[in-house]
Amino acid sequence: MIEVRGLTKQYGAVRAVDDLTFDVEPGTVTGFLGPNGAGKSTTMRMILGLDRPTAGSVLVAGRPFAELGEPLRTAGALLDAGAVHPGRSGRDHLRVAARTHGIPLRRVDDVIDQVGLGPAARRRVKGYSLGMRQRLGIATALLGDPAVLLFDEPMNGLDLDGVRWIRRLVRELADEGRTVLLSSHLMSEMEQTADHLVIIGRGRLIADASMQEVMSGAAGQRQVRVRTPAPDDLAGALLRRGLRVKPTDHGELLVDGTTAETVGDVALEVGVAVHRLSVEHSSLEEVYLDLTGDSVQYRVAGTPEPAGLVQR
């Protein structure tokens, strides 16, 4: 378990992390989301004792990271897959890490197998693709068989097979009862992988809730999709009833916060034909954009305002 309490980090004038409080529970995959510069990496570094908080505290498995006797056996992390000696082979990198952390050397071949590095493990790291570096970084995180795992953007540089492999791996790790904190900017992947979400913006907590709660919360309401040969007439009629209407790129309309019956009835009233009418759930990407809308530092003109807040 990871317990974050009032965690704050000030870099000069920048408050990178601002009074964050949340728990990362064992047996679940917790997705850690936020726009660029929101403070995810800084938070993860503080969890791992690599950065000192300006205020607040973090406990990993009940203790501050610095007080863990054998840290790699308690918490493993993939933070920066580039941070490996380029002249060493992947296997040697793992052997050095095992030796310095008092981990039996037989674990090295176990984790090489587990991450599918195979014969490449004997080649120098400088010849590795980004995907292979990610696998090596994950192997290093798993080396001490830790109960707590932090993965910062583990899907970066992986092909579709690699992404699927990560999804299965983190699921298995959580099912074994481990605590897994995972950051990714790939929303569709996160939607399929995480059980719980912690969302931050500008260093502050925006949401700490289960995936189900986030998806069914204020911002995750259903939408009605309607196709009509007279979209302008129907959109006008729906707007006059106070409904939020967005045109899609395919000439259809998306209507928020209502039912298919209402949209069908309005179409009938104004004498507009309906060629398709369906109810859709928002994707995590849409919910996320709604939630983080005003915490994006450099917003593209015309993007929507945030619609809601989800808290545990």
Ligand X SMILES: Nc1ncnc2c1ncn2[C@@H]1O[C@H](COP(=O)(O)OP(=O)(O)OP(=O)(O)O)[C@@H](O)[C@H]1O
Q: Where on the chain is the footprint of ligand X (CB under 6 A)?
A: 11, 14, 16, 34, 36-42
Return the amino acid letter for 20: L
Cβ distance to ligand X smaller for residue 26 or 37:
37
Nearer to ligand X by Cβ, of 14 and 279: the residue is 14
Taking the complex as a whole, how short is the minimal distance between the CB of residue 83 and ligand X, in angstroms? 15
Q: Are 227 and 252 in contact (CB under 8 A)?
A: yes
Q: CB of residue 41 vs ligand X: minimum separation in angstroms?
A: 3
> How many CB atoms are located within 10 Å of the residue 249 CB?
5
Q: Which is nearer to ligand X, 11 or 70 (CB)?
A: 11
CB of 150 to ligand X, least distance (A): 12
Three-state secondary structure readout of 154-202: CCCCCCHHHHHHHHHHHHHHHHCCCEEEEECCCHHHHHHHCCEEEEEEC
CB of 36 to ligand X, least distance (A): 3
Give the integer Cα–Cα distance in Å for 55 and 19. Answer: 8
Report d(CA 21, CA 13) in Å as an integer: 22
Question: Of 36 and 303, which has the nearer Cβ to ligand X?
Answer: 36
Q: Listing from the earlier edge strand, what are the strands of the sheet with 75-78? A: 75-78, 148-152, 179-183, 29-33, 196-201, 204-210
Three-point CA angle 90, 92, 97, nearest 5°? 100
CB of 37 to ligand X, least distance (A): 4
Closest CB 304 distance from ligand X, rounded Å: 21
Burial class (CB in 10 A: 0-12, 13-18, 19+), 177: exposed
For the chain, the first-to-last Cα distance in angstroms comes to: 17
* Pick 32 or 165: Cβ nearer ligand X: 32
Shorter beta-carbon distance to ligand X: residue 27 or 37: 37
- In the chain, the amino acid numbered 74 is T
